[in-house]
Chain A
Amino acid sequence: MKLNIKELSMHLSKFSNVGTIFKKELRSYFNSAVAYVVIVVFLAIVGWMYTSSMFLINVASLRMMFELVPLVFLFVVPAVTMRLLAEEKKAGTIELLTTKPLHDWEIIAGKFLAAWALIGIALLPTLIYYITIVFLGDIDNGPVIGGYVGLLLMAGVYVAIGLLASSLTENQIVAFIIGLLLMFAFYMMDKVLIFVPDFMTSVVEYLGIDFHFSNIARGVIDSRDIVYFGSMLGFTLYLSVVSLEKRKW
């Protein structure tokens, strides 16, 4: 098959606006202290849990970490996402952004990807713990790969929720709280099944994000879980685009 470079670059240039916004947002995370705080928080909390528990149970596994990070996400992700749109609304720069020849979805996509990438970058240093475990004993790589994939997918959904929260208000604190509450609700769903009427348990369980995360973190990548993460992402991002278009109503 002949590769048509011109056509390819035309397709890619459709995403150049997303790329421009992505770079700007990611750079502003690193220009401010946000990025470094997030990285340090991950390293510190995960490191503390890791060292304090692993030698006790004496098993070469990252299970503890994969149970803990979703909880850390609940606080870190809304802190990362709260400014994405709320700040622009407050400062009025949203008016500059939306009067440029851009689609609203490009703004949402660029911002979403930047915050997601930041969480991904913050997870990278935790690989140090993996490497040390590899030296200490035999480790089953399946759950590790599954765990990281699951964390990234979960982070994606959380970032989308946080972005939606940020699009609803111009107050960053409010955006943080809305984001935290929504994420916490999805996190808790599969843990409160005893309080749920019988006929709804399977639905509520399916909606719970931690349920799908634990499936993947076991090292089993099932299409149902992938569909869950994919549709959650798509739906939440769509709502953010709608919320951004609200100015036109």
Chain B
Amino acid sequence: MAITVRNLTKLYGAEKAVNDISFDVKTGEILGFLGPNGAGKTTTMKIITCYMPPTSGMVEVEGLDIAEHSFDVRKKIGYLPEMNPLYLDMNVVEYLEYSARLYGLKDALLRSRLKEMIDVCGIADVRRKDIGELSKGFRQRVGLAQAMIHDPEVLILDEPTSGLDPNQIVEIRNLIRQLGRAKTVVLSTHILSEVQATCDHVIIINEGTIVADGTLEQLQQDFRGSEKISLELKASTTNAMIAIYPKFKDIQHVESVEYGGQEGDLHKFSILTQKGFDIREEIFRRAVSEGWVLMEMSRKATSLEEVFHKLTTAETTNNKQ
């Protein structure tokens, strides 16, 4: 495990920012930390990076406890804080060199890492410019270069794409995926498509507690409600259609069937299935054996967006009650 978090709690005064959360991040995976604003993502990341200690609980990074081996942990982590703070009066090379030196790099190693980061992050053209003059996209690249300069095992990125335009978002995501191939990456976001585009593993956090933890597929599976299958059958007469209608109900796991109307000789049905079952194969077999002319069949799976929405809003309303 690259990161192990156990029973982590952080209080700000009486308010629980993070409430008894536990999770693991495997070496080499990209974890998406997903949640609405104020859910506790940033607090968790600040604790992992040793910016502040937890109220209670334990965190290990690469097998090292953050309380006991804070220095070694910090050496292993590259961090891009929220809002990507930078020294605007320094130029790109000066800044990266400064960061590198504080990580203990020097001489040949420093120069080679510097060159590599400038190449990988695509900031060669702006390397002598003051950071204050750079566009947000370039600043984000500089922030990532800074986080990677000492070749850390673990990258912690707090909302790495916030405030960027759509093109820049795609660029930064690609960069993260590229950088993340050899690293363990934890990134936080409140944007779902971000997780879908970059992450292997998702943790959804809401009001300081974890409400879901798993791969994208698992989450979609686990939180799939009844699914809707849309069908279009061809039949010359309406009577033939009426004969077909009850036969859908014989299929296992079908919850209800709805007739969706007629367009020429095409008849539409929508079938609701029980949670977690895929009956498309069965429908196809039935169509073949019964001689139905199947023109179209599509399944509407629960999107992660719906899962997210369901989890984060349900929790909120429960808590308020």
Q: Is the CB of A99 within 8 A of B103?
A: no
Q: Interface 1/0s, chain A 86-115, versus B by CB < 8 A?
A: 000001110111111110000000000000
Q: Is the CB of B98 within 8 A of A101?
A: no
Q: Is A11 an interface residue (CB 8 A)?
A: no
Measured between alpha carbons, how far is A91 from B87 in the docked complex, in Å?
8
Quick one: closest B residue to A24, CB to CB?
B98
Q: Is the CB of B87 within 8 A of A95?
A: no
Measured between alpha carbons, how far is A98 from B81 in the docked complex, in Å?
12
Q: Is A247 an interface residue (CB 8 A)?
A: yes
Q: Is the CB of B71 within 8 A of A28?
A: no
Counting chain B CB atoms within 10 Å of each CB, the highest count among A17, A21, A91, A101 belongs to A101
Q: Interface 1/0s, chain B 228-257, versus A by CB < 8 A?
A: 000000000000000000000000000000
Q: Is the CB of B74 within 8 A of A91?
A: no
Please report which residues of chain A, range 5-35, place their CB below 8 angstroms from some CB of chain B when the two chains form the complex.
Answer: 16-17, 20-21, 24, 27-28, 31-32
Measured between alpha carbons, how far is A28 from B79 in the docked complex, in Å?
23
Q: Is the CB of A101 within 8 A of B104?
A: yes
Measured between alpha carbons, how far is A102 from B51 in the docked complex, in Å?
11
Measured between alpha carbons, how far is A55 from B71 in the docked complex, in Å?
60
Q: Which residues of A contact B36 (CB under 8 A)?
A: none
Q: Is B53 an interface residue (CB 8 A)?
A: yes
Q: Is A248 an interface residue (CB 8 A)?
A: yes
Q: Is the CB of B85 within 8 A of A92?
A: yes
Q: Is B83 an interface residue (CB 8 A)?
A: yes
Q: Which residues of B contact A32 (CB under 8 A)?
A: 89
Q: Is the CB of A20 within 8 A of B87?
A: no
Q: When A28-B87, A92-B83, A248-B53 are in contact, do A16 and B101 touch as well, CB less than 8 Å? A: yes
Report how many A-B pairs have Cβ atoms within 8 Å.
63
Q: Is B188 an interface residue (CB 8 A)?
A: no
Q: Is the CB of B103 within 8 A of A100?
A: yes
Q: Is the CB of B85 within 8 A of A95?
A: yes
Q: When A92-B81, A99-B74, A99-B79 are in contact, do A247 and B90 touch as well, CB less than 8 Å? A: no
Q: Is the CB of B89 within 8 A of A28?
A: yes
Q: Which residues of A contact B74 (CB under 8 A)?
A: 99-101
Q: Which residues of A contact B83 (CB under 8 A)?
A: 92
Q: Is the CB of A98 within 8 A of B89?
A: no
B213 to chain A, nearest CB (A): 25
Q: Which residues of B contact A91 (CB under 8 A)?
A: 85-88
Q: Which residues of B contact A93 (CB under 8 A)?
A: 85-87
Quick one: closest A residue to B48, CB to CB?
A99
Q: Is B77 an interface residue (CB 8 A)?
A: yes
Q: Is the CB of A20 within 8 A of B98?
A: yes
Q: Is the CB of B75 within 8 A of A101?
A: yes
Q: Interface 1/0s, chain B 48-60, versus A by CB < 8 A?
A: 0111110000000
Q: Which residues of B contact A92 (CB under 8 A)?
A: 81-83, 85
Q: Is B124 an interface residue (CB 8 A)?
A: no
Q: Which residues of A contact B4 (CB under 8 A)?
A: none
Measured between alpha carbons, how far is A189 from B46 in the docked complex, in Å?
43
Quick one: closest A residue to B104, CB to CB?
A101
Quick one: closest A residue to B101, CB to CB?
A20
Quick one: closest A residue to B50, CB to CB?
A99
Q: Is the CB of B52 within 8 A of A248?
A: yes
A14 to chain B, nearest CB (A): 12
Counting chain B CB atoms within 10 Å of each CB, the highest count among A96, A97, A98 belongs to A96
Q: Is B1 an interface residue (CB 8 A)?
A: no
Q: Which residues of B contact A96 (CB under 8 A)?
A: 79, 81, 85, 99, 146
Q: Which residues of A contact B75 (CB under 8 A)?
A: 101
Known A20-B101, A98-B51, A100-B103; further 18 A-B contacts with Cβ < 8 A: A20-B102, A31-B89, A31-B90, A92-B82, A93-B85, A93-B86, A95-B85, A96-B85, A96-B99, A96-B146, A99-B49, A99-B50, A99-B51, A99-B77, A99-B79, A100-B74, A100-B99, A102-B102
Q: Can you report 6 residue pairs joining A to B where beta carbons are below 8 Å apart? A: A16-B104, A28-B87, A92-B82, A93-B85, A93-B87, A96-B99
The 9 A-B pairs of least Cβ separation, nearest first, read A92-B85, A20-B101, A100-B102, A93-B85, A101-B74, A95-B81, A99-B49, A101-B71, A101-B75
